[in-house]
Amino acid sequence: MSDTEVNKNNTKMSGQRVLHVDSRNYYGGNWASFSFSGLLSWIKENQQKTDINDECEDWRRLILENEEVISLSKKDKTIQHVEDFCFGDQDSAEDVEEAGALPKLPVFGASGAEGVAQESEKESPPVESALPEVESVEPEKATGTEPASAMEGNDTEITSENESSHSGALGESPLESGKTEAAPSEISAQEPKKITYSQIVREGRRFNIDLVSKLLYSRGLLIDLLIKSNVSRYAEFKNATRILAFREGKVEQVPCSRADVFNSRQLTMVEKRMLMKFLTFCLDYEQHPDEYQDYENSTFAQFLRTRKLTPSLQHFILHSIAMVSETDCSTLEGLQATKKFLQCLGRYGNTPFLFPLYGQGEIPQCFCRMCAVFGGIYCLRHSVQCLVVDKESGRCKAIVDHFGQRISANYFIVEDSYLSESVCTNVCYRQISRAVLITDQSVLNTDSEQQVSILTVPPVDLGKPAVCVIELCSSTMTCMKDTYLVHLTCPSTKTAREDLEPVVRKLFNLNTEKETDSEELEKPRVLWAVYFNMRDSSGVDKNSYDGLPSNVYVCSGPDSALGNDCAVKQAETIFQEMFPTEEFCPPPPNPEDIIYDEDEIVPEESGFSNSAEAKPESSTKEEQSI
């Protein structure tokens, strides 16, 4: 979820005029999700890295003598080392067309006609395939106000997970559809159906593949924000049904809740008592400082060894409950992470996590929809040449777009990837290694095929990061029937393939030859995979950017954390700096209850000034983001 999208929505509801311009033809930037064909286009665009030619070469004539410019980058350099592989049956897929595909949009990054997107336009880009009506009629019925009212009500009534682990967090109809569509059969449980590459291409619109892989903590900042702002009306969710662990070369399920612990066959009775005693302590560890204060300078792993826990319990707590580093996490950080995990249990199901149907890319679109309802304007395929800065005041006063027109505003939010190298000279970026796999089986087969699983694979070598694996089934509306969509994420040490392929080989079968070891045959088979590195610009201080005016605010792309707290905190910080007296994301009024003054009903062009000098009373805000 992009903090830029949150700010657009929040600023619009606070009575400001909002313009969003984006050089791409899809929403969300590195938070976006794509159909399979859309992802292939994205891969091709990032592998080629074609130059974008200026349509207006004489735009500098618009700059006055008392002004200077800050040029913006015309290349997106946030994605690197993109490699994709097909491991499935590579039958001829050249003449295969995607079922229900619409005419293709222009090439990514191309400067085309201006796209002004209100609520209706956000449903049109076929590359995203994230809207309910793309898949079936049933999900469309559930995208109204019912999910919102449910989330505002009794938590225990919203999403109590049924015994077969199919119930979702919001809305019943799409989950019912998912269960019917992908119900397990005895034949498929014994021998997976053979999926060909042409089938994946043909069913490409069944896929909603996220560029960034995250889950929502059920008591996290994003869930609270979705409920408070009523943006939840535009989204539906499914419970993450199980937490997995990788230990001694095997994948096994981790008991989390009290019921899971006592029903577990993996733990002895003594281990169950040990685990429950430790988890009870973690829930109110602040009340017992004498039990941990001697280990505040130790790692959480060292602290666990002092608690008389068995090695298997230490492994479960460290990697599957706290989900922290074995070498870099302090005792207090580990206790805080464990407490957060435990506090989120039971709100919407037996695990702390929710996943949005149709992918994580739905979340920024939800905020876009809310903003558009209240008059926010969106221009896709609309690039910006530069920021115009007044020399005397040092404030940014306008932007010049690729058409050569000048747009004035009071505040500017710029996504980090749009800043030029000269502005980012002193910025040190981290990188995220990502892999996305399409597989034919789950990493841990059970009676139910419809599982949403999260697995943390410990590092092979000390000092290297653990790898977070999220496996999605077809009822999440992110992949076709009889397949699974698997996301792998970790902080980068090398290229994404070098970081993640060893983990992929541990969990999956990459061999395409018929003669394969029996041990490999038992693993899920990878049909298709892509690896790429993504820039992590979170945590960069604004002062690190060279020469930015005070009214230009920089938002980061995705970070490597599992949750969305970083983006929400950043959005609130930026908003409070711009409007310190306004409430962040207040509950919106019903559109039909809004009474407009006659003075507010003016032609659209009066909201934004295209002249060389902006009107002093203009409260326009322009957002250059992806």
Distance CA 545, CA 425 (A): 7
Distance CA 82, CA 84 (A): 7
Tokens describing residue 193: 């159906």
For residues 166 and 39, the model is more confident at: 39
Q: Is the pTM of this model over 0.85?
A: no
Torsions phi, psi for 566 (to 5 deg) = -60, -45
% of residues, the chain, pLDDT over 90: 54
- State the alpha helices, DSSP H only, in 402-444: none
Q: Render pLDDT for 534-577 as a digit per residue (tens, 0 to 9).
A: 999 998 988 899 989 999 999 999 999 999 999 999 999 999 99
Sign of torsion over alpha carbons 565, 571, 576, 577? positive
Q: Which of 94-108, 290-304, 612-626 has the lowest mean pLDDT?
A: 612-626
Distances (CA, A) of 464 to 82, 460, 467: 21, 7, 9
What is the average per-residue pLDDT within 502-516? Answer: 82
Distance CA 392, CA 270 (A): 73
Q: How confident is the model at residue 596 (pLDDT cuts 50, 70, 90)?
A: low
pLDDT for 267 equals 87
- 88: nearest Cα among 512, 481, 487, 531: 512
The answer to whether 514 and 390 have CB atoms below 8 angstroms apart is: no
pLDDT for 85 equals 94
End-to-end alpha-carbon separation of the chain, Å?
Answer: 12
3-state helix vs strand vs coil in the chain, percent to 5: 35, 20, 45
Instruction: Map residue 388 onto helix, strand or coil.
Output: strand
Residue length, the chain?
626
The answer to whether 330 and 104 have CB atoms below 8 angstroms apart is: no
CB atoms within 10 A of CB 86: 15
pLDDT for 234 equals 92
Q: Render pLDDT for 56-87 as a digit per residue (tens, 0 to 9).
A: 567 778 888 899 999 999 888 999 999 999 98
Tokens describing residue 522: 């038992």
448: number of CA atoms within 13 Å, CB side?
A: 19
pLDDT for 471 equals 97
What is the residue-averaged pLDDT of the chain?
Answer: 79
Question: If you search the block for the tokens 């006659």, which residue do you land on?
Answer: 598
Distances (CA, A) of 158 to 148, 200, 238, 349, 427: 10, 34, 11, 9, 44
pLDDT for 161 equals 40
The answer to whether 507 and 469 have CB atoms below 8 angstroms apart is: yes
